[in-house]
Chain A
């Protein structure tokens, strides 16, 4: 089966529509979305409506959670004081903008989705707020994938797409316990696992305004990172017109997300 996986749309409808058009052209049989439909961008209700109308299986992103539950992310969500202030301004705007229907839809999104040996989450299987960065410790990365029972873990949240293969990882565990006479040593070789970060549709951070998503073939296991150009000026104009901070428009046009990502790969979110 040919799958398209999208993430981090952040209220950017022109970007979403361009990506959906590209997905149609690529002849994907199914689309998954790993969250963050809202936040920062000017079209939160329209994006939710589009996802809902198309019946795209979607899991909750950190922003989707925060809009439903109130802003209670731990400080790791923001790498700087400036980012935090911008995030809070965006949250206040989004919170005021979303309709009850949008909020209701976001509230029923699951934390993760599964299909065969594939798992879909926003941040990590542990939390929608946790970053699975490409440089994350291999043991922790392996643990995160194994905890899902899947072989391939799709995620988003970092806004930078990547594919990480955890191939033939050998784990060695020594167990000592007062109730056991001698030490036990367990060895096993983990199977081939992959973490696929699908990037961001509506708030890219790779230095270009283009939207990114992933195309995945379950038969051949081929992963294709897609980059789609769209009319980002339209989104930039709407950001300003709707009263969001103009710096969001400038950053979007530069291919820089509005709030940057947390830099510490060893940090485990305490949320």
Chain B
């Protein structure tokens, strides 16, 4: 079978990661999303497809050797990257370029010029002009507070949000993924297929990424902070959860 390298680009929220998810098979596959400030998509895919290989930014030099091993590879290119600058690199990789464009988008000539294949995706964040990203690793959030924070965030309390996604660590040790695209039906948080973290603050990635306009970044950060639990409370709940789980195991 011929090795395939696919580069996927598009506006925030059009469904790049979801499209890649749909393409994934049990074959050896590599996923690399260069220059992401935090690896939300990578973490989500890693939880769902444990057989996949992932490259972090500092492993970029190993890309060639990974590809030489014959895996199929997906390169997800964030909207913040200049595709013209990346084009020469993609040329050396001889990859298939896929552009995912929002449904109903009028002006697609730039994408057509870049891509080998055009796919219609979600509405995406066409008008977003600012991005706020926070790595929240080690923070544990109160689930009821998360619901309120996410609602306020996505409904415009801190500026107009076109796209938001995040991975959050809950006090019961579970990790959930939140996904919002303006204009699409709000979705419930998805539980990630990860083991419960019940020993102190989780040392695995959690974070949040928000695309929008006139974002009040200080208010978003403060509200998120107000939702997070102290060491003592985290310890208290973790002991309770461990006790419940051990009782269940005995039944």
Residues in chain A within 8 A of chain B (CB atoms): 79-83, 85-86, 246-247, 250-251, 254, 260
What count of chain B residues pass the 8 Å CB interface test? 16
Question: A250 and B157 in contact (CB under 8 A), knowing A81-B226, A81-B227, A81-B229?
Answer: yes
Main SS class of interface, A: helix
Are A246 and B144 in contact, CB atoms less than 8 angstroms apart? no
Are A80 and B142 in contact, CB atoms less than 8 angstroms apart? yes
Contact of A81 among B144, B152, B219 (CB under 8 A): B144
Are A83 and B145 in contact, CB atoms less than 8 angstroms apart? yes
Tell whether B136 is near chain A: CB-to-CB under 8 Å.
no
Are A246 and B219 in contact, CB atoms less than 8 angstroms apart? yes
A85–B223 Cα distance when bound, in Å, is 10
The 3 closest A-B pairs by CB, nearest first: A80-B144, A82-B145, A81-B142
Question: Given the complex, which residues of B lie within 8 Å of A250, measured CB to CB?
Answer: 152, 156-157
Residues in chain B within 8 A of chain A (CB atoms): 142, 144-145, 147-149, 152, 155-157, 219, 223, 226-229
Contact of A85 among B147, B157, B219, B226 (CB under 8 A): B226
Question: Given the complex, which residues of A lie within 8 Å of B219, measured CB to CB?
Answer: 246-247
Question: A82 and B157 in contact (CB under 8 A), knowing A246-B219, A247-B219, A247-B223?
Answer: no
Are A83 and B148 in contact, CB atoms less than 8 angstroms apart? yes
Question: Given the complex, which residues of B lie within 8 Å of A86, measured CB to CB?
Answer: 226
Question: Given the complex, which residues of B lie within 8 Å of A254, measured CB to CB?
Answer: 155
Question: Given the complex, which residues of B lie within 8 Å of A83, measured CB to CB?
Answer: 144-145, 148
Question: Given the complex, which residues of A lie within 8 Å of B156, measured CB to CB?
Answer: 250
Are A81 and B157 in contact, CB atoms less than 8 angstroms apart? no
CB distance from A9 to the nearest CB of B (A): 23
CB distance from B139 to the nearest CB of A (A): 12
CB distance from A164 to the nearest CB of B (A): 26
CB distance from A251 to the nearest CB of B (A): 8
CB distance from B49 to the nearest CB of A (A): 33
Question: A80 and B223 in contact (CB under 8 A), knowing A247-B152, A247-B157, A250-B157?
Answer: no
CB distance from B206 to the nearest CB of A (A): 17
Question: A80 and B145 in contact (CB under 8 A), knowing A246-B219, A247-B223, A250-B152?
Answer: yes
Are B148 and A260 in contact, CB atoms less than 8 angstroms apart? yes
A246–B219 Cα distance when bound, in Å, is 9
A250–B157 Cα distance when bound, in Å, is 6
Question: Given the complex, which residues of B lie within 8 Å of A80, measured CB to CB?
Answer: 142, 144-145, 147-148, 227
